[in-house]
A = this chain, B = another copy of it.
Amino acid sequence: MSTKEITLEALNPKEFIDAQVKAIREAVGDDVAINALSGGVDSSVVTMLGHKALGDKLKTYLVENGLMREGELERIAEIFRGLGVPVEIVDEREKFFAALKGVIDPEEKREKGITQVFYKDIFAKLVKDSGAKVLMQGTIFTDIEETAAGIKRQHNVFEQIGIDPQEAFGYKVVEPLIELRKPAVREVARAVGLPPEISDRPPFPGPALCARVIDEVTPEKIDLVRKATTIVEEELAGVDAFQYMAILHSDQVTGIRDGKRDFGRQIEVRCWDSADAVTATPTDVPFATLRKIADRLTSEVPGVVSVTYNIGTKPPSCIEAV
């Protein structure tokens, strides 16, 4: 690892923003840059920095992958348009679900279902059509650490894992946040004018709800886990936690409904206390809140008969199950 961290203590957000704006302008030159916005704090800050540096020379795309949360795409587009940042929505749902068909292994899901489709099929085309020579990405310091440690292959760290993106996918990558951990990114988010809805947003994985379905991902399963996610996020919004989520298991368990046997689905709820996702402990959520979540999940999400709450730590667990 050659990249050095800028700690939260060492960070001067205003100076950081000025330096990055300058660096982005230098890297892009007379070219056009392109970036994908997911609405997470990382890609949001990159969008703002890029917009500050390049104005109309930055093309920002919101890719509808069919894997995002309820109303998420529309809300993100609304926020950025409100900030004067032009974003374009590209509907690519069919491509993602086609690529995810039959894929069970988590790494293969990320690699085949997300990385390959996103970069090779979708982004490469957007780059070509836009004439952009530079891709801006929201890679942060923790991504490189975990990738280097072999824990998870992130979809946005080509350079760090030794793949030349210029050669591999036909474009150049600029990563303005690569020296920061999440708390520092949030500080920059506030300083760059993003609303708390974005700057304080709990982390959400790159592969989106795809990371919340164990085994094969189908539109039907995404629909179930999306409903579950809405409920879990509503009920845990008031809890002081690092991140919370609903995971749809593949294992089916025995249930009973209207007096008859019902072999149904299980949702696992995770809620983490953590500073930076490197280590994490489960949040001591009031039991009444957990019970309410379980009751809502089993009555509002079709086919769900069982609900669990994660009680293990990271390590040896990870934040996400997939």
Contacts and interface: CB of A to CB of B under 8 A. Distances in A.
Interface of A: 106, 149-152, 214-215, 249-251, 253-257, 259-264, 268-269, 281-282, 284, 287, 290-291, 293-295, 297-298, 304-318, 320-322
Number of copies of this kind of chain in the complex: 2
B305 A260 contact: no
Nearest to A304: B316
A315 B298 CA distance: 9
Among A262, A307, A310, A312, the most chain B Cβ lie within 10 Å of the Cβ of: A312
A215 B254 CA distance: 12
A305 B313 CA distance: 9
A282 to B, nearest CB: 7
B294 A313 contact: yes
Contact of A249 (B106, B251, B255, B257): B251
Contact of A255 (B281, B297, B307, B316): B316
Contact of A264 (B269, B295, B316, B320): B316
A309 B309 contact: yes
Given A255-B316, A256-B318, A293-B311, A261 B152 contact: yes
B253 A321 contact: yes
Contacts of A253: 214, 317-318, 321-322
A317 B291 contact: no
Contact of A215 (B214, B251, B262, B309): B251
A306 B254 CA distance: 21
A287 B281 CA distance: 12
Contact of A310 (B152, B295, B307): B307
Nearest to A153: B261
A322 B254 contact: yes
Which of A149, A251, A262 has the largest count of B CB atoms less than 10 A from its CB? A251
A152 to B, nearest CB: 7
A30 B317 CA distance: 62
A221 to B, nearest CB: 13
30 contacts: A106-B254, A106-B263, A149-B259, A152-B254, A214-B251, A250-B251, A251-B251, A253-B317, A254-B320, A254-B322, A255-B316, A255-B318, A256-B315, A256-B316, A256-B318, A281-B291, A282-B291, A282-B294, A293-B311, A294-B313, A295-B313, A305-B316, A305-B317, A306-B312, A306-B316, A306-B321, A307-B310, A307-B317, A308-B309, A309-B311
